[in-house]
Structure 1
């Protein structure tokens, strides 16, 4: 069984850019209803993602928070392209930047299209209570705020958020 333990943060600056090891373009969409996080009847999201020359079908449990079940399966890229055409809601496009800090690999997602302007840093951990060094470019934690999940961004993109939501308030 796969378990993902991940925390999400806004960024307080661009200091991370100088430490980027590599960048990967990504496009992803969701095959099931987008109300999963809103307490709909579904217990998981089903996502298709293309990462450069690789593609994956991903199933992730619906609860918000740092720990969720996650299953990732490789699929042929051409199949993934066709599956993206079947997705509901909008496609989420982003550049994922990989940055090492304090012995951890940070994934910094710089969103594009309707989500342009949003940049979120994620760290995957081995335990919910695992300690990690916070880089000086790290801002407020948003792990518990569902609107920052890619599934929510496919349904209600960043361009539709209020000023309070953009400022990080739990609106």
Structure 2
């Protein structure tokens, strides 16, 4: 079984921009966003993906991702009620890849950093630009952002 172990953070400063290794535009939507499982369709650059994720157990969950034809991904996105638009910036640091998602559209203004870990107890250095950890806050799940966008959150 594939296991995703991920920690998610808000950003405290914009210093991360100085460390970007690559950036890719992503469109993604959810065919199913039930708490027990999500089924995501994604176009990342010029590739399509179908991803099935299990229920979160802390910072871990089952994850199965498959590359699919780009034309299929485009058609499947049309079945999704809401499509997220974001740019993913990658930063390679201390043997890890930080994925920083800068959202557009209804989620404009939200920037979230994620790191995938090989084990639950993996230690890693936290860059100075990291802010509050939001790993367990369901509002920051992409599936939740597709239904309740950041710009509509009560302030």
CA distance in 2, matches of 1:5, 1:58: 15
CA distance in 2, matches of 1:155, 1:148: 11
Partner of 1:115: 107
1:77-96 matches, within 5 Å, as 77-88=70-81, 90-96=82-88
1:17-166 matches, within 5 Å, as 17-32=17-32, 34=33, 36-37=34-35, 43-63=36-56, 65-88=58-81, 90-163=82-155
CA distance in 2, matches of 1:61, 1:146: 14
Higher strand proportion (structure 1 or 2) = 2
| Secondary structure at the counterpart of residue 18 of structure 2 | helix
Shift of 1:100: 1.7
**Contact 1:7 1:123 (C-alpha < 8 Å) held by counterparts:** yes
Number of residue pairs matched by the alignment: 155
Shift of 1:64: 5.7
Q: Give structure 1 regions of 4+ aligned residues with deviation exceeding 4 angstroms.
A: none
CA distance in 1, matches of 2:109, 2:97: 22
> With structure 2 as the length reference, what TM-score do the two structures score?
0.97
Partner of 1:9: 9
CA distance in 1, matches of 2:95, 2:73: 33
CA RMSD of aligned residues (A): 1.0
| Secondary structure at the counterpart of residue 26 of structure 1 | strand
* Structure 2: gaps spanning 5 or more residues: none
CA distance in 2, matches of 1:13, 1:2: 33
* Structure 1: gaps spanning 5 or more residues: 38-42, 164-171
> With structure 1 as the length reference, what TM-score do the two structures score?
0.88
| Secondary structure at the counterpart of residue 21 of structure 2 | strand
